[in-house]
Amino acid sequence: MGTGETMTELSKDVLIEMEIVGFTAEGAGVGRYQGMAVFVPGALPGETVAARVVAIRKNFTLARMVKLIKAHPGRIKPPCPTFEHCGGCNLQHTNYLNQLGLKTAIVREALRRIGKIETEVKPTLGAESPYHYRNRMGYHVAREGDSFKLGFFVRQSKRFIEAEDCMLAATSIQKLAMCLPRSLGGHAAGLEGLRDVVVRCNSDESVLLLTLVADKPLQAGTSLAADLMAAEPRLKSVWECAGQPVYGIYGEQWRLLQGEKFFPDTLCGRQLLLSPATFIQVNPAQTQILYQLVCDYAALTGSETVLDLYCGAGTISLCLADQAAQVIGVENYPPAVENAERNAELNDAANCRFICGAAERILPELAADGVKADVAVLDPPRAGCDTAVLYTLCALGPAKIIYVSCDPATLARDMRILCEGGFVTTAVQPVDMFPQTGHVETVVLLEKEC
């Protein structure tokens, strides 16, 4: 609005005009109207839009873009036909260079606003291939009679949209997903309760794993698995996971329907054997860049004790083991700990040991037992670290903390505690693990104040 112009009173369904000045990781442009932050999905910083107010909350307003008055020069036509509705991507409407700039700004703004930290944020490291990079895809299953479809939920809803031909999926996953509906239809009578399918591939896409996620055990699971593996040579194992969700979409009842028990992969030169639900990063090429940053920031000399908290299957631990005296990994998910122990043996990393339990419980116990850490690596889930972990690390006082984060907001919150506890931020490097989405991974180096 220009100086002196009359502003319409802010209320539901009112049409307002404003400049977009910020951006959220959820893909919404941020403007200000009558002093109120207004979130407009699909709008980009630098654009002027006309938007209709959808809802007014205490501290912000939600609006829907009605007209793009002034477009950002980086705006493009989204290549995916379902982009406007699917909840998977929210940045396909701008070119990749601008996506990287937006992610750098998201991290910088989170550190400034939430963490009260003013520090240099390096430009986001982009991916060589911003499409077909995901090595794991979860699809919802929709059924009508004996006909099946794979797809996703429309953004912020439970409305299904067919989209097995996803532009983010690795090509081997995409090929299998496009064939699955017909195979499911051939076994429809025995697939009552099937709600999701998860497809994984290894780094070179030579091996595939399929998990059928259902409310109850599937009568046709074994015969379906046999048919699928006969049709697709790269499919090496098919699993069934039954029961109500307790770990993401997964239930507690796991059954190997056919094939190999462990899923093989190679990452950063390390051999891995993984269980079907064990988490590893979904972008193999960018993961190597991410883990190399961790190694560079650690700058180990061979004499250090390293704590790897939230270690998962031990992938970071294995990358650091060659240059450390010992690495102690802590992970709360038992199958991942089993994988980590097996992977350490597979890679002759005898100086790695892994403890199963919540980091907020195990870390104080290690401190009480006299463990002294020179370097601590944090790679928590999106919710960030428990405060007990942060306060214990402040008391332990390792020379370095390397924080690997998938959520800038919780990263900033946790960094503020660490900085107040005697650490100084010396490097912040975003890495684009999730092109075409607003998500960004960040590696931060914090060093103990002298």
Query: Encoding tokens for residue 200?
Result: 């994984």
Integer Cα distance of 50 and 71 in angstroms: 12
Per-residue exposure over 73-102, b if at least 16 CB sit within 10 Å of its own CB, e if not: ebbeebebebbeebbbbbbbbbbbebbbbb
Q: Which residues contact 175 (CB under 8 A, 6 or more apart)?
A: none
Q: Is 178 exposed, middle or buried (0-12, 13-18, 19+ CB in 10 A)?
A: middle
Q: List C-alpha distances in Å: 198 to 181, 185, 241, 249, 347.
A: 13, 17, 10, 10, 28
Which amino acid makes up residue 226? A
Q: Can 80 be counted among the known catalytic residues? A: no
What is the rounded distance in angstroms from the CA atom of residue 381 to the CA atom of residue 406? 7
Tracing tokens 């998201």 back to the chain, one arrives at 106
Question: In 131-274, which ranges are continuous DSSP H helix?
Answer: 171-185, 221-231
Neighbours of 42 (CB within 10 A): 20
Residues ≥6 apart with Cβ < 8 Å to 353: 326, 327, 328, 329, 344
CB-based contact 405:411 (threshold 8 Å): yes
Contact 417, 423 (CB under 8 A): no
Partners of 307 in the β-ladder: 328, 376
Q: In the chain, count of helices (H) and strands (E)?
A: 9, 21
- The length of the chain, given as a count of residues: 450
Among the options 86, 352, 385, 406, which is catalytic? 406
CA 175 from centroid of its chain's CA atoms: 23
How many whole angstroms separate alpha carbon 170 and alpha carbon 303?
A: 40
Nearest to 363 by CA among 377, 352, 349: 377
Active site residues: 406
